[in-house]
Homo-oligomer: A and B are copies of this chain.
Amino acid sequence: MSARTSRLSLNQWTTRRWSVAEAVDGCVRHGVEAIGLWRQDVAAQGLEETVKLVADAGLRVSSLCRGGFLTSGGPEALDDNRRAIDEAATLGAACLVMVVGGLPGVVPGEPPGTISRDLPAARERVAEALAVLAPYAGERGVRLALEPLHPMYCADRAVLSTLGQALDLAEAHPSERVGVVVDTFHVWWDPRVLEQIARASGRIASYQVCDFLSPLPADVLLGRGIMGDGVIDFGPMTRAVAEAGYTGDVEVEIFNADVWAADPDEILARVKAAFAEFVGD
């Protein structure tokens, strides 16, 4: 294990074909010490079995993906988020990643039906839901991690588009309950990103890295690349995150059709090499 990759965490969807058990084995095989898990894959493996697999392998769980989708209101979303918080607690995950949801009625990948175009109201609903969920998370020792998504997902996935916005929301709560995710793909373009990372001192719950591809593929959700394959300069953001006091794991999360089609072992080897070259500890 190179010291340059000791904080590398494999977000499970980078090797999406692998089950939890396979991804855990892959981490062990490649000397990766931490893993970011997804709820549906954990459910498929079984929550208790996942706990055991991860413990036996000696892995840290850097995050659980994901809670959120709070903008349409309704008790179902809150209930589902409480279950996600419980799962994160059981897994001992460092945080529960929150993708807050888009405009009410907008379904990713589908043409618009009856939607609400009131963006400030959707954002207000997120704040209201957080006021309910943050104390619940606090009781269970789980940290919610608000993830600003790239503005191209504002309509369908997250009305939270900048780190500044995420911090405005998070700062209404104790930092051990609500932090933020810094994901290079989502925030690299932001002219204020470095000052907002500095402001996030003590609030960074997760640092995720992957590249931004240009041109974007037909499905913009899959525009994430292995570090070095796109346009992002990782040095300044990585340094700023370190200067803001973040010492946790650094997840590599890549949604990409070519990456998913390739041999996961090859991908993990490439990811590790790219991490050492472009990110490091």
Tell me the A residues contacting B by CB distance below 8 Å. 102-103, 106, 108-112, 115, 117-119, 123, 150-152, 154-156, 161-162, 164-165, 188-191, 212, 214-216, 218-220, 229-233
Contact = CB atoms under 8 A, between A and B. Distances in A.
Query: What is the total number of copies of this protein in its complex?
Result: 2
Contacts of A215: 108-111, 156
A218 B172 CA distance: 39
Contacts of A154: 188-189
Contacts of A161: 189-191
A165 B189 CA distance: 12
Contacts of A119: 188-189, 233
A186 to B, nearest CB: 9
Nearest to A162: B191
Contact of A123 (B152, B191, B220): B191
B155 A231 contact: yes
A229 B233 CA distance: 36
A162 B156 CA distance: 20
B165 A112 contact: no
B152 A220 contact: yes
Contacts of A109: 215
Nearest to A105: B231
Contacts of A212: 155
A112 B189 contact: no
A117 B150 contact: no
Contacts of A165: 191
10 contacts: A112-B214, A117-B232, A117-B233, A118-B233, A150-B152, A151-B152, A152-B152, A155-B214, A155-B230, A155-B231
Contact of A230 (B112, B118, B162): B112
Contacts of A220: 152, 216, 220
Contacts of A115: 231
Contacts of A189: 119, 151, 154-155, 161
A109, A119, A229 pick with most chain B CB within 10 angstroms: A119
A41 to B, nearest CB: 25
Nearest to A236: B120
Contacts of A103: 231
